[in-house]
Structure 1
Amino acid sequence: MAQTAQHGPLAFLNSDGRAHPKENTLAVVTLVLGAVAVLTTFSEGLHLISSWAGLAGIITGAWGQLISATTAERMVLVIGLGAAGLGFYLGVANGGLFGGIIG
């Protein structure tokens, strides 16, 4: 059976020639959450968004690593996980997950 050419913005993630929609979605979501987590650390009052987006990015990235199928997916996941972790830790350092709500 001949492999068909895959087109689209995420075609590079399918380096084995098969479609992996769940794995690709987790990789992109992790990358976006990591970017949000890191970018919101630059603003002093957005530590809640930074810490929650970072935590969500860590969880989705860890799950994505467990089920990833290609090296390209793992590469995107590791970059997203690193950004999510950095945003999470800086958000927690600046006020935490609950900010001024508790205590």
Structure 2
Amino acid sequence: MAQAMQPKVPKTTGSLFATDHRPHPLQDILIWVTAVLGVTAFISSMFYNLHLLSSWTGLIGILTGLYSQFVSVTTHERFATLMGLGSAAVGFYLGMAHGGLFGGVLG
């Protein structure tokens, strides 16, 4: 009878963004990669001469963020991915405005 009264505790603790108490290692890695690429693209886009860095990291961050949105399971994962995806997009567009992906390198 005592076992029936105890609350059901999940066996795995899950991750920071998983509200279903299950581990999502792929989604966690994609969130962090998107966030790092997004912050790098956003900060480097503030400097005119770093347009190659900001445009390429922004582009890779956008692609990583879109795939992360596709495979995400919980709302917290989608929200965290969207923050990185937005900063990667802003960094990409400012990098494109400052010279683009190949500005000055190919000609």
Q: TM-score, normalised by structure 1?
A: 0.90
Helix, strand or coil at the partner of 1:3:
coil
> What's the Cα RMSD here?
1.5
RCO higher in 1 or 2 (8 Å CA, sep ≥ 6)?
Answer: 1
Match of 1:90 in 2: 94
Bigger Rg, structure 1 or 2: 2
Note the C-alpha offset of 1:5. 5.5
Match of 2:36 in 1: 32
Helix, strand or coil at the partner of 2:21:
coil
Of the three residues 4, 27, 46, the one matched with 2:11 is 4
Structure 1 spans left out of the alignment, 5+ residues: none
Of the three residues 44, 67, 73, the one matched with 2:71 is 67
State the alpha-carbon separation in 2 of the partners of residues 81 and 5 from structure 1.
Answer: 29
Q: Work out the percentage of aligned pairs sharing the same amino acid.
A: 46
> Which letter does structure 1 place at the counterpart of 2:10?
Q
Q: TM-score, normalised by structure 2?
A: 0.87
State the alpha-carbon separation in 2 of the partners of residues 96 and 44 from structure 1.
Answer: 11
Report runs of 4+ in structure 1 exceeding 4 Å deviation.
none
Structure 2 spans left out of the alignment, 5+ residues: 1-7
